[in-house]
């Protein structure tokens, strides 16, 4: 028995090394030539790798981001720290370039994906099918490559397509979940593994829809398992406990989300918005989601692969490969009566139903769920959320069928032919990765740094970005390597910005109206002074290196209009060393600028110190009557005012996100809460009453002057930020407890030997 275990361990180490080499070679190959000439690799999809490894991680530690469109809730973005930003920060500390970090990052992800699938398939063969044979290693190896390097995943493997996290870890989650359902031994150990596996998936859970996907998968797995294995009570308990572990492991960022993003008001608003605006999107996104396309790896139609070879030949070969694997799924269902195969088959059918969306059959039932169950709107593009699970079930069942076929087939020639074809499919899928270029190498010209320095010297507050993209992602020209996707500008600049017609980032409809009105005034060459003061805009930037411009005016026309506008002081153009236009910064005249935070009483004086993005220390001198305090930020009821003891000193460091007193604000009562209301139909206003303070607080909180006025100190703070710190403490204690438990078990195992 020990001999067999040693052989199995040697095989596992060998497979790990082989997968390690394959992952690094096939993923890095297309980008080796860029290492010495480019600093960054960008995704053509939704995200970018962190470009500024100080500013970016700090910005993603706030539950609310005032830098975007007047202020937006970003509590879910915090989850991207584990493991995404942690990985980048760790490697950047040893002076590795961003481009190389991206390649290492992706290689490790795909190594984890393939190896976890290999471990899972070995578990299935040995414990679910009761097959113990040296061929297990070979078939599991094939399955790991076919799963990890599926052509569908090729277009998702950009550094910001966090879906790859769930793809990579899920096989291990399901293995431990299955052991909890069907095995009474080592219950605590498997629970600890599941907790840690959920924790390292925090980045993908920043998209709340994937939490829903996990809940659906685990629910149906435990439900089918309960009926097949007749363990109803145990399945129910294990499901509840596993979901508890899911939320506990992500409690550190989910807790502030409950008080911001996941409030009943926002959920209801998002649900209604989905019904009104996304109904047509579900039809559009599933228009090619026929059952045949889903089965052959192309759930949204032909996969757009950026390869030089004949794309039609490639797609036909992909179709043929999946049809070949489908034969073994049918073989396993017909020839091998096993309860686990039945369980997988039902899961395959359920995922098929979700992916096809409103397409036939049972399309009406899907639409009923889509429009009537809150949260189901996250399936507005079903393939992006659930197709990975279909491929997981498909690959597992096909490898199960292949393993059974090789066991029962007596003709050695046929067995060799099947093995060779499966090997060729694995190599083919790997080669698609090697010849596909889905990442964009780019450099950011130094002029962007010069632009930020200019804004700093010119006392910038907020900036207005043109031209109008109407909510579309930015698509740069050759000056930024034709980068397409999430804009990098607010990742490298410290200044808040506004965009026109940007529904994705406009929680405040009045802000959207004012911003679009500002564009209209610019186009008509009318005064923009009042609107810029209301929005706290000090500069307007016209970008000239974008390929896309959906607005009525070109960048050149917008520049001409702004140069003529009476409220513009000057315009500074920024060009590359080759005299290629990048952007022009227009400065508003001083009388058209406003303070971010001010009072409307000229007899009193206000100064403030920015402690961090969500915390300000405010000093008001000579306050003698009711005075309005104005915060030119999107209205949020969670902005709170707290009276502070006089002469309180703070270290001047805006990067200090935690100063030690933040947890006190969870129980401390804010002041003037009943006076907090909207100003300019979008911003925040409080009425500060000196008499109220004198009548309700002792003089340690204010100083009374000889003329009867008072001096006082206030803290302006976004309260849900404190829930983040509470969540980190709770999750941190649980995390360290789990790690210490695993260390204890390892030491005990060594001692017992």
What is 564-603 written as a DSSP string?
A: H-TTEEEEEEEE-TT--EEEEEEEEPGGG---SEEES-TT
The pLDDT score that the predictor gives to residue 304 is 66
Determine, yes or no, domain membership for 171.
yes
Task: Please state the rounded mean pLDDT for residues 233-253.
Answer: 96
Q: What is d(CA 299, CA 602) in angstroms, rounded to the nearest whole number?
A: 64
Question: Is residue 514, in this structure, part of any structural domain at all?
Answer: yes
The answer to whether 413 touches 132, Cβ cutoff 8 Å, is no
Q: Do 149 and 222 sit in the same domain of this protein?
A: yes
Domain termination residue (choose one: 406, 439, 472): 439
Phi, psi of 508 (to 5 degrees): -105, 110
Q: Quick one: residue 158, left, alpha or beta (phi over 0 = left, psi -120 to 50 = alpha)?
A: beta
In a domain, 525, yes or no: yes
Average pLDDT over residues 66-74: 84
Residue-number span of the structural domain to which 646 is assigned: 597-718
Shared-domain flag, residues 635 and 563: no
Q: What is the mean pLDDT of residues 400-419?
A: 95
Structure-model confidence comparison of residues 322 and 282, the more confident one: 322
Q: Is 144 part of a structural domain of the chain?
A: yes
> Do 506 and 570 have their domain in common?
yes
In this structure, are residues 701 and 712 in contact, taking their beta carbons and an 8 Å threshold? yes
Interacting residues of 499 by C-beta distance below 8 A, sequence separation 6+:
69, 465, 469, 505, 515
**Is 234 in contact with 720 (CB distance < 8 Å)?**
no
Mark whether 372 and 496 lie in a shared domain.
Answer: no
Domain assignment of residue 734, yes or no: no
Q: Select the more confidently predicted residue: 107 or 8.
A: 107
Q: How many domains does the chain have?
A: 3
Nearest-angstrom CA–CA distance, 725 and 214: 26
Are 463 and 539 in contact by the 8 Å Cβ rule? The answer is yes
**Which one is predicted more confidently, 273 or 405?**
405
Mean pLDDT of the chain: 88
Local confidence band at 41 (pLDDT 50, 70, 90 cut-offs): confident
pLDDT in tens, 384-397: 889 999 999 999 99
Q: Answer yes or no: do 612 and 490 share one domain.
A: no
Q: Are residues 515 and 577 in the same domain?
A: yes
Region 509-524: what's the mean pLDDT? 90
Backbone angles phi, psi at 158, to 5 degrees: -60, 155
Residue 279 has pLDDT above 60, yes or no: no
Structure tokens at 431: 């080669």
Query: What are the C-alpha distances in Å from 78 to residues 82, 112, 251, 487, 734?
Result: 9, 23, 11, 19, 19
The gap from C-alpha 387 to its chain's centroid, in whole angstroms, comes to 18
Percent of the chain clearing pLDDT 90 (strictly above): 59
Flag whether 588 is in a domain. yes
Mark whether 194 and 119 lie in a shared domain: yes
Kindly state whether residues 629 and 546 are assigned to the same domain.
no
Q: Given this model, what pLDDT does residue 89 score?
A: 87
Q: What pLDDT score was predicted for residue 505?
A: 47
The candidate with the shortest Cα–Cα distance to 111, out of 18, 214, 245, is 18
483 in the same domain as 391: no
- Which of 592, 615, 630 is a domain's end point? 592
CA gap 516, 498 in Å, rounded: 10
Q: Quick check: is 724 in a domain?
A: no
How far is 461 from 439, CA to CA, in rounded Å? Answer: 34
Identify the domain boundary among 400, 423, 439: 439
**Do 428 and 464 fall into the same domain?**
no
Range of weakest confidence among 387-401, 583-597, 698-712: 698-712
Q: Is residue 728 part of a domain?
A: no
Nearest to 613 by CA among 61, 79, 53, 82: 61
Q: Are residues 651 and 714 in the same domain?
A: yes
Residue located via tokens 């100064």? 607
- pTM exceeding 0.85: yes
**Domain identity same for 483 and 614:** no
Which residues on neighbouring strands pair with residue 43, listed in sequence order? 439
pLDDT at position 506 over 50: no
């Amino acid at each position: 028995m020990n001999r067999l275990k040693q052989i199995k361990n040697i095989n596992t180490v060998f497979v790990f090394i082989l997968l390690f080499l394959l992952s690094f070679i096939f993923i890095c190959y297309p980008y080796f030539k860029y290492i010495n000439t480019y600093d960054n690799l960008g995704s053509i999809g939704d995200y970018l790798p962190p470009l500024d490894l100080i500013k970016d991680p700090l910005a993603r530690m706030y539950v609310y981001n005032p830098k975007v469109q007047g202020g937006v809730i970003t509590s879910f973005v915090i989850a991207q720290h584990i493991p995404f930003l942690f990985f980048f920060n760790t490697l950047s500390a040893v002076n590795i370039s961003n481009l190389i970090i991206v390649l290492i990052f992706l290689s490790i992800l795909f190594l984890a994906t393939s190896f976890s699938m290999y471990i899972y398939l070995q578990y299935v063969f040995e414990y679910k099918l009761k097959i113990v044979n040296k061929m297990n290693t070979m078939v599991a190896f094939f399955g790991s490559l076919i799963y990890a390097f599926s052509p569908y995943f090729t277009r998702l493997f950009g550094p910001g397509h966090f879906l790859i996290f769930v793809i990579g870890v899920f096989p291990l989650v399901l293995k431990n979940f299955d052991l909890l359902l069907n095995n009474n031994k080592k219950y605590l150990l498997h629970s600890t593994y599941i907790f840690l596996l959920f924790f390292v998936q925090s980045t993908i859970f920043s998209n709340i829809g994937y939490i829903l996907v996990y809940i659906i998968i685990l629910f149906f797995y435990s439900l089918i398992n309960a009926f097949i294995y007749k363990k109803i009570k145990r399945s129910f308990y294990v499901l509840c406990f596993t979901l508890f572990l899911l939320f506990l492991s992500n409690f550190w960022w989910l807790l502030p989300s409950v008080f911001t993003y996941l409030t009943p008001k926002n959920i209801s608003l998002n649900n209604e918005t989905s019904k009104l605006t996304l109904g047509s999107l579900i039809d559009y996104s599933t228009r090619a989601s026929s059952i045949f396309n889903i089965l052959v790896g192309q759930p949204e139609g032909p996969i757009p692969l950026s390869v030089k070879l004949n794309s039609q030949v490639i797609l036909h070969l992909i179709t043929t490969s999946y049809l070949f694997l489908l034969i073994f799924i049918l073989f396993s269902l017909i020839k091998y009566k096993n309860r686990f195969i039945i369980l997988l088959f039902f899961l395959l059918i359920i995922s098929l139903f979700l992916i096809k969306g409103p397409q036939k059959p049972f399309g009406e039932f899907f639409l009923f769920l889509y429009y009537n169950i809150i949260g189901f709107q996250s399936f507005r593009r079903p393939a992006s959320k659930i197709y990975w699970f279909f491929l997981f079930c498909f690959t597992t069942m096909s490898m199960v069928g292949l393993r059974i076929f090789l066991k029962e087939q007596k003709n050695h020639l046929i067995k060799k032919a099947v093995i060779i074809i499966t090997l060729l499919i694995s190599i083919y899928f790997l080669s698609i990765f090697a010849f596909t270029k889905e990442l964009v190498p780019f450099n950011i010209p130094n002029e962007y740094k010069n632009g930020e320095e200019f804004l700093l010297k010119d006392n910038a507050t907020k900036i207005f970005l043109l031209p109008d993209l109407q909510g579309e992602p930015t698509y740069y020209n050759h000056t930024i390597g034709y980068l397409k996707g999430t804009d990098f500008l607010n990742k490298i600049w410290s200044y808040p910005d506004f965009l026109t017609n940007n529904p994705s980032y406009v929680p405040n409809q009045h802000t959207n109206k004012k911003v679009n009105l500002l564009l209209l005034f610019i186009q008509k060459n009318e005064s923009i002074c009042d609107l810029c003061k209301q929005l706290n805009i000090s500069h307007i930037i016209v970008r000239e290196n974008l390929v896309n411009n959906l607005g009525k005016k070109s960048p050149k026309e917008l520049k001409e209009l702004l140069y003529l506008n009476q409220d513009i002081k000057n315009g500074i153009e920024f060009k590359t060393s080759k005299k290629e236009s990048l952007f022009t910064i227009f400065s508003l005249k001083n009388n058209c600028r406003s303070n971010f935070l001010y009072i409307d009483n000229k007899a009193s004086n206000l100064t403030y110190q920015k402690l961090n993005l969500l915390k300000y220390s405010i000093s008001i001198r000579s306050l003698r009557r009711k005075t309005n305090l104005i915060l030119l930020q999107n209205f949020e009821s969670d902005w709170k005012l707290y009276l502070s003891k006089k002469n309180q000193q703070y270290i001047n460091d805006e990067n200090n996100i935690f100063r030690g007193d933040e947890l006190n604000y969870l129980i401390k009562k804010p002041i003037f809460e009943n006076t907090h209301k909207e100003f300019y139909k979008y911003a925040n206003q409080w009425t500060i009453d000196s008499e109220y303070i004198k009548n309700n607080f002792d003089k340690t909180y204010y100083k009374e002057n000889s003329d009867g006025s008072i001096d006082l100190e206030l803290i302006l703070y976004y309260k849900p930020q404190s829930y983040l710190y509470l969540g980190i403490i709770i999750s941190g204690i649980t995390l360290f407890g789990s790690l210490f438990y695993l260390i204890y078990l390892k030491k005990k195992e060594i001692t017992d030997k």
